[in-house]
């Protein structure tokens, strides 16, 4: 694997008053890697991601994303990343084409580029028949795939996927992961959070956050060996149980 670091996190901390949501985490993510970012609800996952994508300011520590400091160059960070959240985040009352045009527009793509991307995307996802229909009418699985493609529209170096497969059927999840692999193959880095432990197995490396700290970080294979269990699910349970 490529050893070029694309995200460097050093002692990143976020406090809300006396509560420390993220407690001095440090890790690196390499270019073209699928990086799984796991943790129970309330472990500080979301807060950590928010700092990495530049919409929340760290209390202390530093993070370089695509070479830019999230504290001082949030705007540059935003230009280099794509983001897809668990909530379906396109406009229901706009057609597929209009959504693509809009999101292409806010990322500053030229009109010609948007046109080219739209044609390509609609072809790739096989959406020719519904391209001019309102997004509202699409099944959830399609919507998620569309969201992912739109997050890639501006060819970001890193894509953050925040529980991208929530509420989606197993077949679509499978297809979704195929899209993720294909993208990683092109050299894009994927930073994924998920609740599905089988999905954690698909990642190149996985970090597990417990109570604001990173308790474990390695490949799924190594983690299973280290904790002497058969699945990521058991790794996760073991770590979470230790805390209680």
Binding site for another protein (CB under 8 A): 53-57, 75, 78-79, 81, 83, 85, 87-94, 98, 101-103, 105-108, 160
Per the CB < 8 A criterion, the answer to whether 105 and 148 are in contact is no
Q: Which is nearer to another protein, 143 or 205 (CB)?
A: 143
Which region holds residue 156: left if phi is over 0, alpha if psi is between -120 and 50, else beta? beta
User: Closest distance between another protein and the C-beta of residue 13, in Å?
Assistant: 14
The two beta strands, 81-84 and 68-69, are unpaired
* Shortest distance in whole angstroms from residue 83 CB to another protein: 4
Residue 78 C-beta: closest distance to another protein, Å: 5
Q: Least distance (Å) from another protein to the CB of residue 49?
A: 10
Find, among 212, 210, 207, the residue nearest to 223 by Cα: 207
Dist. CA 105–CA 12, nearest whole Å = 33
Residue number, 110 or 225, with CB nearest to another protein: 110
Residue with smaller CB distance to another protein, 40 or 94? 94
Judged by DSSP in three states, 224 sits in: helix
**Nearest CB to another protein, comparing residues 107 and 176:** 107
């Amino acid at each position: 694997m490529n050893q070029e670091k694309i995200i460097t996190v050093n002692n990143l901390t976020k406090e809300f008053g006396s509560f420390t949501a993220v407690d001095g985490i440090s890790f690196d993510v390499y270019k073209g890697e699928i990086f799984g970012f796991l943790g129970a609800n309330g472990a500080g996952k979301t807060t950590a991601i928010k700092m990495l994508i530049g919409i929340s300011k760290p209390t202390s520590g530093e993070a370089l994303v695509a070479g830019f400091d999230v504290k001082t160059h949030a705007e540059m960070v935003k230009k280099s990343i794509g983001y897809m959240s668990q909530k379906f985040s396109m406009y229901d009352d706009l057609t597929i084409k209009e959504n693509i045009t809009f999101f292409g527009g806010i990322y500053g793509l030229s009109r010609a580029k948007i046109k080219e991307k739209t044609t390509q995307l609609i072809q790739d996802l096989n959406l020719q028949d519904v391209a001019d229909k309102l997004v509202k009418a699409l099944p959830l699985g399609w919507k998620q795939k569309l969201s992912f493609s739109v997050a890639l529209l501006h060819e970001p170096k890193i894509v953050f996927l925040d529980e991208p497969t929530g509420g989606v059927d197993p077949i679509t999840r499978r297809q979704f992961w195929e899209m993720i692999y294909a993208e990683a193959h092109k050299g894009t880095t994927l930073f994924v959070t998920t609740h599905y432990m089988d999905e954690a197995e698909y990642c190149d490396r996985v970090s597990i956050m417990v109570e604001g700290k990173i308790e474990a970080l390695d490949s799924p294979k190594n983690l299973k060996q280290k904790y002497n269990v058969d699945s990521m699910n058991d790794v996760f349970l073991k770590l979470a149980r230790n805390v209680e």
